[in-house]
Amino acid sequence: MTPPPRDRFAAKLRGFGPLGILAVLVIAAGQIFAPLSAVLVLVWRNLSRTPWRDIGYVRPKSWIGSLVAGIAFGIVFKLVMKAIVMPLLGADPINQAYHYLAGNPAALPAAVWTMIVVGGFGEETVFRGYMFERLGKLLGGSLAAKIVTVLVSATVFASLHYFDQGLAGAEQATITGLVFGTVFAVTGRIWIPMCMHAAFDLTAVAIIYWNLESAVAHMFFK
């Protein structure tokens, strides 16, 4: 019995034939207008009939627990990166790409929107949810495959940060990509990485806005 046209179309979107590859390219191109790519992922999920759980959209055991854990870890993670990891890598204490936020209340609404919607929702949906699903289909679900998926997703994630934040931004994105990716690979749920990512970025905004970058970066290393 021949499957209905919609089922055949969905199967092609889930595969890696011409239609499936075109979907990947369209979603990748959506990164230019973030968070358009994340919206396109959700459209792809619907048209391809991919289960929500395959992109990490699984109901957590506790919404409050996931929110609190993600926010707390994200804040601490950013402080550790700024005060210890980045100084050890020789990064400039001042993030030149976002220094315009220092003492600039007019820029805060857009920055907060960007950190939550583009960072937390958009980038996690694309680089963890979608990319893990696609690479999982190609590589399988073994431990080795998951390690490769974490490494590849972190590398792509970091490369995109190079263009606006330079080497230091790419280095930081590599580390955060590895951490967020590992959490996602272990839990299979995207909510904690989303909260972690948003909290990480919002903490960065707060440090810059209150002009604390140099103080935090020199907390342990003078």
Q: Cα(62)–Cα(170) distance, rounded to whole angstroms?
A: 33
Q: Cα(121)–Cα(70) distance, rounded to whole angstroms?
A: 13
Quick one: average pLDDT of 90-100? 94
* The pLDDT of residue 22 is above 80: yes
Q: Cα(53)–Cα(71) distance, rounded to whole angstroms?
A: 22
* The pLDDT of residue 45 is above 90: yes
Quick one: average pLDDT of 22-40? 91
pLDDT at residue number 170: 96
In contact, 128 and 56? CB cutoff 8 Å = yes
pLDDT at residue number 1: 63
Question: pLDDT by residue (tens digit) across 63-84?
Answer: 999 999 999 999 999 999 999 9
pLDDT at residue number 7: 85
Q: Cα(17)–Cα(14) distance, rounded to whole angstroms?
A: 9
Q: Which amino acid is at 116?
A: I
Q: Rounded to two decimals, what is the model's pTM?
A: 0.94
Quick one: average pLDDT of 133-158? 96
Q: CB within 8 A of 156, min separation 6: which ones? A: 127, 131
* The pLDDT of residue 52 is above 90: yes
